[in-house]
A and B are shown apart, each in its own frame.
Chain A
């Protein structure tokens, strides 16, 4: 009986060691950046359609930009009720996905590549009362092009 009890103790110790080693391997090997991001995508297609051809605030713009970056909206045009700067756009895009780059172009056109970036043209600021156009290619993870008029 004593022998069996010791045997069980030994087995439990072995099991605990194996479990600890397995956990440490998994924790050490699977780095957070390698884990898939389980991102919940909010449906904003209605907002894109509703805000289109209206006057929008920066908050409305953020919702629409979210729609473009999550492949929900394709073409959008509206008049601004607030100034929106290049830095504002950068912040709004990073809120959706911190890996997204926002780049300023010298003319309103898509580049020859598709890197899921946001391109703006052509000034640092989109002023109140001016029209803003947002487009994307109708492909997955498309670039987003934001131009003023």
Chain B
């Protein structure tokens, strides 16, 4: 009877360890598990988005106000709008650019004041702005 009792204790201990390990894994990777099982829509607040910053090379015939707005908005939507926590190189756009008094969104800061053949859109975490430089 004593032997059986010890066996039970060992089993209980084993089960508790296994259960704790599984619970630990689930808690640690809950966000990944939820997104893998596509359950993000069903939890309040959804799953936190991963911060991804990839630079994209693009070519335009000429870089006009609408082109500047387009790329600035794209850059802002993937960085500033998501409260991105570091600087990001968003786009390198090739095309003829001439400086002018362009009217852009508040979060766009045009810093290129010369005629060039490519402009660079970067997000500044410090300024919370998309910088357009050359």
Contact = CB atoms under 8 A, between A and B. Distances in A.
A, B in one complex: yes
Contacts of B16: none
B9 to A, nearest CB: 14
A101 B54 CA distance: 9
B21 to A, nearest CB: 7
Interface residues of B, number: 29
A46 to B, nearest CB: 31
Interface string B7-47: 00001001000100110010001001100100000000000
Contacts of A101: 55, 89, 92
Nearest to B50: A34
B122 A113 contact: yes
A115 B53 CA distance: 9
Given A103-B92, A105-B134, A106-B134, A113 B21 contact: no
A105 B133 CA distance: 9
A111 B22 contact: no
A26 B25 CA distance: 8
B131 A29 contact: no
A111 B131 contact: yes
Interface in A89-133: 101, 103-107, 111-115, 117
B96 interface: no
Contact of A106 (B14, B53, B55, B117): B117
B75 to A, nearest CB: 11
B64 interface: no
Interface in A31-60: 34
A114 B123 CA distance: 9
Nearest to B125: A113
Given A112-B124, A117-B55, A25 B25 contact: yes
B82 interface: no
Interface of A: 11, 15, 18, 22, 25-26, 28-30, 34, 101, 103-107, 111-115, 117
Q: Which 9 A-B pairs have the closest CB atoms?
A: A113-B87, A115-B89, A113-B122, A101-B55, A29-B32, A106-B116, A29-B29, A113-B124, A112-B131
